Chains A and B, each alone.
Chain A
Amino acid sequence: MRELVLATIADQPDIDVVGEVGNASELTAAIEESQPDALILELGEFEKGRAQCGFLLGRYPHMRILALAPEENRGTIYWAIVDVRMKPLESSESGILSALRERPSLVGTLHS
């Protein structure tokens, strides 16, 4: 999955990959070190992943999170403005690229 996403974004002149990790235990250290604008995350279990994204945005509110469940062809983008917001993300190359380029807005479902 990581390699597939890298293949999608590697050739984009306006996107830099600043870090990759293979498991969740290395994630916070990598975010602290690289301070990314966006995090792309594969969700094993979609519902559990929502809580994980809420936690990460509480700690790193400047970041957008693209949470993907590629085997289910679905994803969600999470971001924080006042509160944690979310909206569906298309699990495709164009969906990922436009989500990475999008500016955060107030339009989105509030994360409960």
Chain B
Amino acid sequence: MSQGAPYRLTHVFLLTENRLLREALVRILSKRVDVAVVGAVAFAPTVLDQLATSQAEVVLLDSPGLAFHGPCLVASIRRVLAPANIVMIGMERDETTFFRAVRSGVMGYVLKDASAMEIVHAVRAVGSGEAVCPSCFSRVIVQCAAQQLASTPEVAAFHPQGLSRREQQLVGLVGFGLTNKEIAARLNLSERTVKNHFQRIFRKAGVHDRMAMIERCQPREATNI
């Protein structure tokens, strides 16, 4: 980083079992003017207390065993340190572990053979709100996103029956054959809320059943990705 250039300081906490990795990373990260190491320890039961008061924006973890198995450390860290972005480092090129990390809320995944510069880059990127993953997993991520989008109805800003975006989304999901229970699970709502939405949609569309609702509310030329 050039001298005098404005930079944003990223506070990093290293929670790594590999002592050599920990010590070398502290040395490497401490040389960067835009990175401040606020903690560097191996796992101990008191580590969550340390993390809670650390004000770290990025937490580096190197042990999938600790991170995802048993009581999920990633979830615990996110609970005690809400703004923290977790980066897994020293990872194997293993798709199952990668998806486990993504599901648990990890924002960065750096492989074992990555250079120190790649780790520094991941810290900066994740600290500024981006996500980092190895290029070998890009294809599978794009495929997952495509699948998700294909099963998500498109919504219009202005609907002829005056349906809100959420209401249009619900109509689209009924069109895919989903039940209230499945829609509630998909949208993270209660079943009761889903029913209330449908009552409002029926009123706006002037219909009394789902078939009529789809007929009336779904745009005829609607295409899904």
Contact = CB atoms under 8 A, between A and B. Distances in A.
B140 interface: no
B17 A73 contact: yes
B19 A91 contact: yes
A70 B21 contact: yes
A4 B19 contact: no
Contact of B24 (A8, A68, A73): A8
Interface of B: 17-21, 23-25, 27-28, 90, 115-116
Contact of B23 (A3, A8, A68, A71): A8
Interface in A15-72: 68, 70-71
Nearest to A74: B19
Contact of A7 (B17, B19, B28, B90): B28
Size category of the binding interface on chain A: 10 to 19
B27 A73 contact: no
Nearest to A4: B24
Given A7-B27, A8-B27, A91 B115 contact: no
Per DSSP, chain A at the interface is helix
A73 B115 contact: no
Interface of A: 1, 3-5, 7-8, 68, 70-71, 73, 91-93, 96
Nearest to B63: A71
Given A68-B20, A71-B17, A93-B27, 19 more contacts: A1-B20, A3-B24, A4-B20, A5-B20, A7-B24, A7-B27, A7-B28, A8-B20, A8-B24, A70-B18, A70-B20, A73-B17, A73-B18, A73-B19, A91-B19, A92-B19, A92-B20, A93-B23, A96-B20
6 contacts: A5-B24, A8-B23, A71-B90, A73-B20, A92-B23, A93-B20
User: Nearest 7 CB-CB pairs, A to B?
Assistant: A4-B24, A70-B20, A93-B23, A7-B24, A92-B19, A91-B20, A70-B18
A26 to B, nearest CB: 17
A8 B24 CA distance: 6
A4 B116 contact: yes
Given A8-B24, A8-B27, A93-B24, A3 B116 contact: yes
